[in-house]
Chain A
Amino acid sequence: MENLIGIGVNSIFVGNILLSYFLGMCSFLAVSRNLKTAAGLGVAVIFVMALTTPANWLIYRFLLAPGALAWAGLPEINLSFLKLILFIAQIAAIVQVLEMVIDRYSPALYTGLGVYLPLITVNCAILGVSLFMVERSYTFAETLVYGAGSGTGWCLAIIAMAAIQKKLRYADVPAGLQGFGQSMIVTGLIAIGFMLFAGVSI
């Protein structure tokens, strides 16, 4: 249990998928102009990550890992080189199904969340979390916590960024630094803030 809490806190703060592994930067930079859309995308990312990471764990454990096909009587086969293609296909499929289900059962949620769902397929944080889950050989329970925690961390970071951008709108920034350069430096400062949690031990 302690281990799970540790993984959760670590994936939200110190090992934040965006701020210390730099994943999901493209949509982070594109969507952090507006606080409301940022929060919408953030929630969608939590949702998708919490679903796709455990789903990819199952695929890896029962189809791809070395010896995973033992249940089918083929213990020598190692298909782990196929994980990239299957993971991205799985993510695209889940996002597509999710979009249709939300559209069918909750039109209100769809208008809020729906537009962000296609964007998420190409968000490298989603694929990155699945690949890290394999690299660190997490168990199923750890994967559940890690997926949800990473999504939460990404969501917190984009909301913080959007709030700061809003305040900076009236700041007098040097011409060459406006736009991309300024966003990068602000993100760096947010990252320093998140790193302070490294001192907290659980």
Chain B
Amino acid sequence: MNTVVAKPWAAVKRTVAYKEVIKALWKANPISKQILGICSALAVTVQMQTAVAMGLALTTVVAFSSLIVSLLRASIPRNIRIIVQVAVIATLVIIADELLKAFLYDVSKQLSVFVGLIVTNCIVLGRTEAYAMNNPPGRAFLDGLANGLGYTSVLVGVAFLRELFGSGRVLGYPVIPEAFYQAGYVNNGLLVLAPGAFIMIGLFVWLEHTLLERK
């Protein structure tokens, strides 16, 4: 017990839950490592505000659908499990969509159909199918939460770069001084357009892979 008191962090590090969370956030990040859920990752990253809202919506949906599927897992018949999972996910997505419309109407207009498309986002179905169906509710919820946050972290990172270099703003506030523009600095309009998203996420993944390999 002494070691636990002396180094609480080391004890935490040995738990299964900690390993799962780190795996989802970094080593097996759903976007950059497993290539899941790319569609929405590209579409909502023009501004940080929409990226954060989308990330939170997805995190909520994946965490709670994992929890619910895990609670139901004993009573779901094997051969219709996909339909049951999709029904759970779709219900949660509708709730998330209606909540966004009620409290963040402008953001919900900008996200347009992409919140609805969380239904077909492979991260959500991937986690419920691969993890929640075989694990207890508490851990399934944590796993969903961690995967959602892993997704959000990539989304916000890409959105930060696109907003900064594409329109010279961070979270909607101009950050590049006027003097730069007078000295001839120009915002890179390509980054705001669709092709910029592809190229930016390509470079982002390149950086991440290179950093991981060096360790």
Enumerate A74-91 residues with CB–CB distance to B below 8 Å.
81-82, 84-85, 88
> B121–A124 contact, CB under 8 A?
yes
A29 to B34, CA, bound (A): 12
A135 to B203, CA, bound (A): 33
> A122–B199 contact, CB under 8 A?
no
> B120–A188 contact, CB under 8 A?
no
B42 within 8 Å of A (CB atoms): yes
A180 to B29, CA, bound (A): 13
Enumerate A119-163 residues with CB–CB distance to B below 8 Å.
122-124, 127-128, 131-132, 135
A25 to B91, CA, bound (A): 24
B76 within 8 Å of A (CB atoms): no
A192 within 8 Å of B (CB atoms): yes
Given A127-B120, A176-B213, A185-B202, check contact A22 B94 (CB 8 Å).
no
Contacts of B94 in A (CB 8 A): 81-82, 84-85
Q: Whole-angstrom distance from the CB of A126 to the nearest CB of chain B?
A: 8
Enumerate the 8 nearest inter-chain pairs by beta-carbon distance, A residue then B residue, closest first: A188-B198, A184-B202, A188-B199, A176-B210, A185-B202, A191-B195, A176-B209, A22-B42
Partner of B117 from the list A131, A175, A177, A185 (CB cut-off 8 Å) is: A131
B116 within 8 Å of A (CB atoms): yes
Contacts of A38 in B (CB 8 A): none
Mark B residues whose CB is within 8 Å of A.
32, 35-43, 86-87, 90-91, 93-94, 97-98, 112-113, 116-117, 119-122, 125, 193-199, 201-203, 205-207, 209-210, 213
Partner of A84 from the list B93, B197, B201 (CB cut-off 8 Å) is: B93
* Count of A interface residues, CB-CB < 8 Å: 38
Residue of B nearest to A192 (CB): B195
Most chain B CB within 10 A, of A82, A122, A135, is at A122
